[in-house]
Amino acid sequence: MKSKLICNAMTVDVEDYFQVSAFASHIPRESWETLPCRVERNIDRILCLFDEKQIKATFFTLGWIAQRYPAMISRIAAHGHELASHGWAHHRVSDLKPEEFRDDIIRSKAILEDIGGQIVVGYRAPSFSINSNNLWALDYLEEAGYRYSSSIYPVHHDHYGMPDAPRFAFYPRKNGGLLELPVSTVCLFGRNIPVGGGGYFRFWPYSLSRWFIQRLNLTEAHAAIFYFHPWEIDDDQPRQVGIGLKTHFRHYLNLHRMEGRIRTLIRDFNWGRMDQIFLKEAI
């Protein structure tokens, strides 16, 4: 039975299959323009799915994508969803110098606002690449006019993570106004278990994912923050070769089941936009 007490945050990281960080050493950025893009058709499927269930979501979108698909960005906004920044071209924050990061977040915010006709207040770092080594990035986000970030993942992972960070919404700076909204985890046996989407959602049996979110809502009384990518509902995307067994497993696992699981997930829980859940005073 769907709980009416908690509204959870549904988010989509808008990038194409060839832009994922795990492929960075395999697919040169210079080749992106030559590759078949599939993001627009996948976003349209997601918009239809959300419309069917009458839910609104937050779309963390690359500036690179917005520049090439402005009509898609306009459709996202026209359907009542929140536009937020995912940076310009999926550079990890850890790979950028401070001035490069500043230019990246200003540029991506500007193009989304120009096309979408709404103020962009949210940011999610590619591959959750803000951690204890580059917390300076949060100051730049606040200076650029962002009100929240969803970039610190309190987990152990070989590519990202800040396991000692708080699990729920917090202000990283004592006197700062930028709110950090970590993707959801559940603490079991003293360890934070990632339950907020992506490859984890494709890996766990759906019944376990549902139990995790129910625990967040009913036992801990917190909204879940869930994310997925458009390419995760696209089992027909071009397959990459020579990427290694672990990368292959993580990227392609259960793609054929993902859309069905998303349908069930949005049926079983209440969902909304990040800004309307966590920045209620601004709505």
- The answer to the question of residue 198 being in a domain is yes
Structure tokens at 11: 């988010």
- What value does the mean pLDDT take over residues 19-38? 94
Question: What would the pLDDT profile of 165-199 be if each residue is shown by its tens digit?
Answer: 999 999 998 887 999 999 999 999 999 999 999 99
E runs forming strands in 74-157? 82-85, 122-123, 148-149
CA distance 159 to 156: 9
- The domain of 177 spans 7-282
- The answer to the question of residue 23 being in a domain is yes
Give me the CATH number covering residue 84: 3.20.20.370
What's the mean per-residue pLDDT of the chain? 94
- The predicted structure's pLDDT at residue 98: 98
Q: Which residues pair with 191 in a beta bridge?
A: 188
- pLDDT of residue 256 exceeding 80, the answer is yes
- What value does the mean pLDDT take over residues 6-35? 95
Q: State whether residue 254 is helix, strand or coil.
A: coil
- The answer to the question of residue 1 being in a domain is no
Q: Nearest Cα to 274, choosing from 44, 42, 125, 60?
A: 60
User: How many domains, in total, are found in the chain?
Assistant: 1
- The answer to the question of residue 189 being in a domain is yes
- The answer to the question of residue 2 being in a domain is no
CA distance 13 to 18: 14
Phi, psi of 161 (to 5 degrees): 125, 145
Find the range with the poorest average confidence among 37-51, 57-71, 239-253.
239-253
- The predicted structure's pLDDT at residue 3: 52
- The predicted structure's pLDDT at residue 282: 42
Confidence grade of residue 4 (pLDDT, cut at 50, 70, 90): low
Q: State whether residue 228 is helix, strand or coil.
A: strand
CA distance 170 to 113: 26
